[in-house]
Amino acid sequence: MNLSALLTAAGIGTLAGLHTATWGMYKDSIHEGFFWPRYFRSPIVGIVMALIAYVIARPSLDSAGSMAAFFGVVYVLERGAIELWKTFLRNEDQGKYFIPMQFAVFGKVVHSQARRLAIGAVITTAVCGTFLLVHYAAPQLPLQGSVLLVFAIASISGWISAFLGAWKDAPVEGFETLKFFRSPLWAGFWGLLVAHFSTSILVVMMAALGYTIFTLETYKTFFFPSKPRGKFAGKPILYPDMLRRRQPFVILYAAIWILVLAGFYLALTGPKQGLIAII
């Protein structure tokens, strides 16, 4: 096992986790306070997911393109692990939320732990099965040079996110058409970029969803800083001091964005070795 690549994977996992921890803290801390153990939860999960992904897939991680793709994959794995835990495993008072964080049916929380676990297993199997089905069917598809087909396949991960998000949010805050189509469109866009330097449609789909979350959460968090996240809509600000204390974290957040954009620039201006060559 390549120790240098393993350390690189852990570093990428740390950056992915710090990014998700920061946008989550920036919006939530004014409602529920700031705790360092909670902040470092995502970086730790990011490292674990990165090491697991590296051990299974053994990516080279010796180029900007491979690292950019790996960042997107780890990002979605970290988000998936955290959301699974919050939705199906964690038991928490839901009264502080406007939108329940535990699994709910038409806005009504499913309190039975066993039932939530069973539903979580079914949903996880269905999502993973969809990714694997597309992955194994991809070699039979005319992907080379087909921009529209790659876009459509990459957007599948966005559709999954859109449907799951609508299931959770729409019964409480109503269905928003633009919001529903946002994730598939962004996933298709990011998929086209990642496809420049990855030959795996599974990597393209996963990274596309990771970067979709990366982008949309930035938009929702920092373009509308005074608008509470949906789960805290209408809830009072209980920790107003966090409006000031959270500001220094923006520097770290912006630095990670710059690193990611620099990685894409270097990857896209280098040799094209992926599914398609668009530019």
Cβ atoms of 81 and 49 within 8 Å: the answer is: yes
Res. 72: pLDDT tops 90: yes
**Cα–Cα distance measured from residue 253 to residue 22, given in angstroms and rounded to the nearest whole number:** 7
The pLDDT score that the predictor gives to residue 275 is 60
- 279 belongs to a structural domain: no
Kind and range of the H or E element at 181? helix 177-194
Confidence of residue 35 (pLDDT cuts 50, 70, 90): very high
* pLDDT averaged over every residue in the chain: 91
The pLDDT score that the predictor gives to residue 277 is 46
**Cα–Cα distance measured from residue 200 to residue 31, given in angstroms and rounded to the nearest whole number:** 41
Overall domain count for the chain: 1
**Cα–Cα distance measured from residue 224 to residue 203, given in angstroms and rounded to the nearest whole number:** 31
- 261 belongs to a structural domain: yes
Give me the percent of the chain exceeding a pLDDT of 90: 73
Res. 123: pLDDT tops 70: yes
Q: Please give the span between the terminal C-alpha atoms of the chain, in angstroms, as a whole number.
A: 35
Q: Which residues contact 27 (CB under 8 A, 6 or more apart)?
A: 220, 221, 228, 229, 232
Query: What mean pLDDT do residues 132-157 have?
Result: 88
The residue that leads in pLDDT, 173 or 29, is 29
Cβ atoms of 158 and 171 within 8 Å: the answer is: no
pLDDT tens sequence across 81-105: 999 999 999 988 888 888 889 999 9
**DSSP string over 225-252:** TTSPPGGGTT---S-TTHHHHTTTHHHH
pLDDT tens sequence across 173-228: 888 888 899 999 999 999 999 999 888 999 999 999 999 999 999 999 998 777 77
The pLDDT score that the predictor gives to residue 278 is 43
Confidence of residue 255 (pLDDT cuts 50, 70, 90): very high
Question: Pairing relation of β-strands 108-109 and 104-105?
Answer: antiparallel
- 277 belongs to a structural domain: no
The residue that leads in pLDDT, 71 or 143, is 71
The values of phi and psi at residue 145, to 5°, are: 80, 0
Confidence of residue 114 (pLDDT cuts 50, 70, 90): very high
The pLDDT score that the predictor gives to residue 273 is 61
The pLDDT score that the predictor gives to residue 145 is 74
- Of 6-10, 71-75, 134-138, 210-214, the poorest mean pLDDT is in 134-138
Q: What is the pTM (predicted TM-score) of this model?
A: 0.94
Question: Domain range holding 178?
Answer: 3-102+111-268
Cβ atoms of 214 and 19 within 8 Å: the answer is: yes
The residue that leads in pLDDT, 239 or 173, is 239
Give me the percent of the chain exceeding a pLDDT of 70: 96
